[in-house]
Homo-oligomer: A and B are copies of this chain.
Amino acid sequence: MVKRIEKKPQDKLTATGNSTLNPFTEPIAFVEPGEEIEVSTWDAYGGIISPTRTFQEAVDQGLAGALNPVTGPIYIRGAEPGDTLVVEILDIEVPEWGGSSIIPGFGALEGWLNLMKPRTKISYIKEDKITYETDHGKTIELETEPFIGTIGVSPAYEAIQTLAPGPHGGNMDCPDIRPGNTLYLPVTQKGALFGLGDVHAIQGDGEICGTAVEIGAVVKIRFNVLKKTIAWPRVESDDMIMTVCSARPLEDAARLAYRELINWMVSDYGWDRDDAYMFLSLAVKARIAQIVDPLYTVVAKVSKKYL
């Protein structure tokens, strides 16, 4: 039977405990490497929207509480500072609806599209299909591509808001952190102090209006610990290795991701550094994960068949 870690009830969520990744909050669960666990997560709104209540209405009703809350901290036994936490994403159970919103003051085109009004749009989800009803009367069906938007470990000594990504993971909004893939995170605290939330049923590159189809979900994962040190989050799929880096401006996020990928090719696959640089100039793929959070995120990838 799979061990299940429940999210805290909404009225028990706290700003530091759930809206930061931090070394101060008591773990809510202790997990063994290799154990399969299920974690229930809040949506990015902290559960305050519904098919009958928009985000703006919820804010006006005073319901807005923890921002982008994570379920955690989860203590992984055996994880020590300097280690790498391995997170296998096994499955994501998607609910029957999710909501995307325009939130004035937030979003990639804020200031570029004047006069946007607050708005929440509910999309229903059934048998891996999302139904999007357009304003001009069309019904569009999208395949779900669920992934974990916010996932990370405690920073070394800071408490970093869960709206921000960084070397510790966090709000990377990277669609490659999805079932079937494995995420690697640099551990800086005993037990790693892991948290996750902000699952998306689908998201475009850049998450441009600031939200995707935001869902509360149940995520099945398995942890392991490697006795090696990495600098930034990494992802591995069946056929690609990927680095996930965050910075501003966006080109610096890209440069970090490219450099980390070169470093990985050099350390683990025997490449010469300058040769890896030239080769990636021919063969790397890059995805803009998001340009709406405090730092922007880019994923750089190269096919394993070349390594």
Q: Which residues between 129 and 181 of chain A lie within 8 Å of chain B, taking CB atoms?
A: 130, 132, 134-136, 140, 142, 156-161
The contact of A109 among B140, B157, B160, B258, by CB within 8 Å, is: B258
Interface string of A252-290 (1 = CB under 8 A from B): 001100110010000000111111011111111111100
Interface string of A3-29 (1 = CB under 8 A from B): 000000000000110011011100000
What interface size band does chain A fall in?
A: 35 or more
Q: Pick from A55-63, A110-118, A225-233 the stretch touching chain B.
A: A110-118
Contact A135 B275 (CB under 8 A): yes
Q: Is A77 an interface residue (CB 8 A)?
A: no
- Chain A interface (Cβ within 8 Å of chain B)? 15-16, 19-20, 22-24, 100, 102, 107-117, 119, 121, 123, 130, 132, 134-136, 140, 142, 156-161, 202-213, 247-251, 254-255, 258-259, 262, 270-275, 277-288, 291, 296, 298, 300, 306
Pick 29 A–B contacts, CB within 8 A, sort by A. A15-B157, A19-B157, A20-B158, A24-B24, A102-B274, A108-B258, A109-B258, A109-B277, A113-B262, A119-B274, A130-B282, A134-B272, A135-B274, A159-B159, A203-B281, A204-B281, A204-B282, A204-B285, A206-B254, A206-B286, A207-B281, A211-B281, A212-B281, A248-B249, A249-B251, A250-B250, A251-B291, A251-B296, A255-B291
Give Cα A210 to B277, complex, Å. 10
Once A24-B24, A159-B158, A161-B158 are accepted as A-B contacts, the answer to whether A111 and B112 lie under 8 Å apart by CB is: yes
Once A156-B15, A157-B20 are accepted as A-B contacts, the answer to whether A286 and B288 lie under 8 Å apart by CB is: yes
Contact B274 A116 (CB under 8 A): yes
Give Cα A277 to B259, complex, Å. 26
Which has the most chain B C-beta neighbours within 10 Å: A136, A254, A278, A291? Answer: A278
Which has the most chain B C-beta neighbours within 10 Å: A22, A102, A250, A306? Answer: A250
Residues of B within 8 A of A248 (CB): 247-249, 251
Once A102-B277, A202-B283, A208-B281 are accepted as A-B contacts, the answer to whether A108 and B160 lie under 8 Å apart by CB is: no
Contact B16 A112 (CB under 8 A): no
Contact A284 B161 (CB under 8 A): no
How far apart are A159's CB and chain B's nearest CB, in angstroms? Answer: 4
Which has the most chain B C-beta neighbours within 10 Å: A108, A110, A202? Answer: A108
Residue of B nearest to A18 (CB): B157
Given A16-B24, A204-B283, A254-B288, 12 extra CB contacts under 8 A: A16-B23, A100-B278, A100-B282, A107-B277, A111-B111, A112-B259, A134-B271, A134-B272, A135-B275, A209-B277, A209-B281, A255-B291
